[in-house]
Amino acid sequence: MSAPDHARLLRRSLAVITGHQDTGGAYPACPAYPVYRYAWFRDGSFIADAASRAGAADSATAFHDWCARVVTDRADRIGRVTAALGRGEMPDEAEFLPTRYELDGGDTGDSGWADFQTDGYGTWLWALSGHLGRHRVDPAPYREAAALVVDYIAATWNIPCYDWWEETQEERHGATLGALYGGMAAAARAGLADPATAARVTGGIERLVAERGIPGGHLTRSLGSGAVDASLLACMAPFSFVDPTDPVGAATLAAVERDLVEPEGGVHRHLADVFYGGGQWPVLAGFLGSVHVRAGRTADARRELDWIAAQADDDGLLPEQAPGVRLLHPEHLEHWETKWGPVAKPLLWSHAMYLTLADDLGILP
């Protein structure tokens, strides 16, 4: 097999991201997939971070401008949620901020799809803080929106919500807590969050996870569970909730590699994953590679980068799940192909994590 042409695919990845960005600044998760033509704060924040790293500062700024508008347009809604929770009342789920939006910033309406997640808002604070510092962008236009998100996270961080994959709700998830921790810590460092508020939230997350989140010595998919989910990799890189060389981080990485990583490269989401049969995700290979970089395992990180590149089609487009690889539950593949068609492609988040890992390895042009 010939060596991947990383220079070409890295250029292509940035072009895919900027070329599909909406004129208002939002990034569609996948413009060609029927239910991914929306903008997620989580996906979009990782995409914007990759664009920012790759030198497309205007693209990243446009996304952050879009996020700020979305948040400030819902200031009254955030106020109602935080006030109710402050009184000890639980708001109706429809009052919480959604996880996905129309590209114009509007609500998606009653789609029947799980919608209450908090991780995306922590991820946005993290990505915004990094972009402002990297490109010396004036933080003033973002202060109101960031303050609203900080208040919202401070009020909601300990409430069960849907996980990254929008599958399980009545639990508190390791990756969600990691994203909230990383976002609040980054916002405090960037001067976008009151230090005392940020410390109260990050300290609360640390205590909760120490008490309930590491029953086997490693982070778990949800509190009280013994299972791992590859989204936990983000707790190490980029969110720095745990270090991959410390005992909890090392045990978490070892558990993910044991259960979810294929020897030749590629990462499954979790052992019970039946979505398109439970294949391997380039997004997660990117996270794994970044964790390997932090752990000093450069050769392993490069293996994941090469594996991601090998999943691109002849037009340089990366999918959500890799084609023709081992599935955990192949009997479920036909169901999803009949329901929604082939696996989503191009997935902008896949291209973003490829750029991010290349940057972590020091080979981003």
User: Which residues carry out catalysis?
Assistant: 163, 166, 320
Token pair in block for residue 193: 């969050």
- Residue 278 CA, chain-centre distance (Å), reads 19
- The half-sphere exposure of 65 on its side-chain side, counting CA atoms within 13 A, is 13
Token pair in block for residue 235: 């707790």
Q: What is the CA radius of gyration of the chain?
A: 19
Residue with tokens 């991914």: 36
Distance CA 343, CA 135 (A): 35
**Closest-CA residue to 318 (of 274, 293, 364, 355):** 355
- Distances in Å between the Cα of 234 and the Cα atoms of 69, 70, 117, 295 are 27, 25, 16, 13
Distance CA 209, CA 200 (A): 14
Please state the length of the chain. Answer: 365
Sign (positive/negative) of CA torsion 71, 73, 79, 81? Answer: negative
